[in-house]
Structures are given as C-alpha cells and as structure tokens.
Amino acid sequence: MKIPFLSLLAGTTFLLAGACTRSTTDVERPSARASTETGAASSAPTIDRNAPTAGSSEYIDPAARKTAPDFRADIKKADARLLAVPGDVDALLLRAKSKSQLKDYSEAMKDYNAAIQLAPTNSDVYYNRGLNRLEMKQYSGAILDFGKATKYNPKDRDAFFGRGSAKMQMFNYRSAIPDFTRAIALDPNYADAYEYRGISYASINKFKEARADLEKAAQLNPAAEKSLRRYVGNKDK
C-alpha cells in the first residue's frame, strides 16, 4: 500500500507491503497487505520484494520467491523475446515489472508506456503501471492508472484498493472510502480494504465506522489489530 494522516495519524508511514505485480495472464491475484509503522514522514507504498510475482507462464514461475538475480534474468528473457517478437506485450510487461522490482522505476515506465501503446485496453498493464507510479510518488498518475484498470476490468478489487490507497497519500480520505467499499463489495473477505477504509474513517473522525472496519480487518487478519489499537482505541466508546 503509505498514507499521511491528519493530527490523529501524524508521523505515520503506511506501507502497501504486499502489493503484487500482475501480468496480462494472471488468474489469481494475491491481495495487498496493508501494514502500519511509525516513521518520520509519509512515503509511497513499497512493493514486497520477496513476494511471489505472478506472471505469464511462459516467463515466470508464479510460485517462485524471486531475488535480484532472478529479476535480472527475467529482463534478459524479455529482451530475447522482444528481439524475436517486437511488440510482445507480455514480454514488455515482464521487463517492466522486473525493472520496477529492481527499483529502476523510470526505465520500467518506458516499458509500461510502450505496452499501453500496444494494448490500450489492458487492465493489468494499467494496474502495474499504477503500482510503479506509487513507488515514484506520482499519486495523481497512479489514481488515473488504477481508474483505467477498473474501467477495463470493473471486477478488479486490487485496482480499486490501489486507487483508494493513492488517494489517501493525497489526503483524499473521503474520496478513498468508496474505492475501498467497492473492493470489499467485490471481495467481502478483503482484510486490507477493511483496514484501509477503517483508517480513512478514523482520519475524518468517524470512529464508530472505523472501529467496525478495523475489528473486521483484525478478524480476517490478526496483523490489523495494531491499526485497531492505534487509530481507534476507546474513541468511539
């Protein structure tokens, strides 16, 4: 996921630690893991560098826990594929995601842009470029990309979650809440969406709603108990 809050949450950094990149052929999409840590200032969400990266079966083993050498190897595979088949969208996306995982965000953007030129209605390309923009702290651009992802795939819970998270980075808590609500409608067990919506409610002093969401998030994922204690406490009692 990351999100600077008002006085209630001052000095806190929110991380979208498990946001996973996707390829054009992904079926299962691992949920993002929202976590909170005290920090000096807000920062963009960080992608979990050790999380499995789901991708095209031709290029990636979705179950692999990739390391930097793996990502560099994937770039070489993508390079070879693009030499053989210029304009291969899956290869461009693989290379872009690998560059992003290696924190070469500017170079990754070039491949994402090229992929979008070739596949302008591909929701997964927009989703992954949105994640890359979050890393670059380009929050307005991320909102637009996640919006495109939801346009071309209205059932993409992760894209709604990503857009809500980007809005939170811009202090647009009220606007973020409907995105998390939509993600929850698509997946009633989406713990991270409950957690982020609860934190959004807390940031606008709706503590009753915040408690309900954060308690639900903690039921689904005990790690959210930390957010429940931090952002609600006894405020709605």
CA distance to 30, 67, 100, 182, per residue, from 186 (Å):
14, 32, 28, 6
Residue 237 lies in a domain: no
C-alpha span between 216 and 211 (Å, rounded): 8
Which domain covers residue 216, as residue numbers? Answer: 7-231
pLDDT of 109 higher than 60: yes
Residue 149 lies in a domain: yes
Identify the residue with better confidence: 33 or 68: 68
Q: Answer whether 93's CB lies under 8 Å from 109's CB.
A: no
C-alpha span between 191 and 62 (Å, rounded): 23
Residue 190 lies in a domain: yes
Phi, psi values for residue 172, rounded to 5°: -90, 65
Quote the pTM value. Answer: 0.77
pLDDT band for position 9 (50/70/90)?
A: very low
Residue 1 lies in a domain: no
The enclosing domain of 29 has a CATH number of 1.25.40.10
Residue 236 lies in a domain: no
CA distance to 34, 118, 156, per residue, from 193 (Å):
8, 32, 13
Residue 120 lies in a domain: yes
Residue 148 lies in a domain: yes
Work out the mean pLDDT of the chain and round it to a whole number.
Answer: 79
pLDDT of 42 higher than 50: no
**What does the pLDDT look like over 114-146, one tens digit per residue?**
999 999 999 999 999 999 999 999 999 999 999
* Count: domains in the chain: 1
Residue 62 lies in a domain: yes
pLDDT band for position 22 (50/70/90)?
A: low
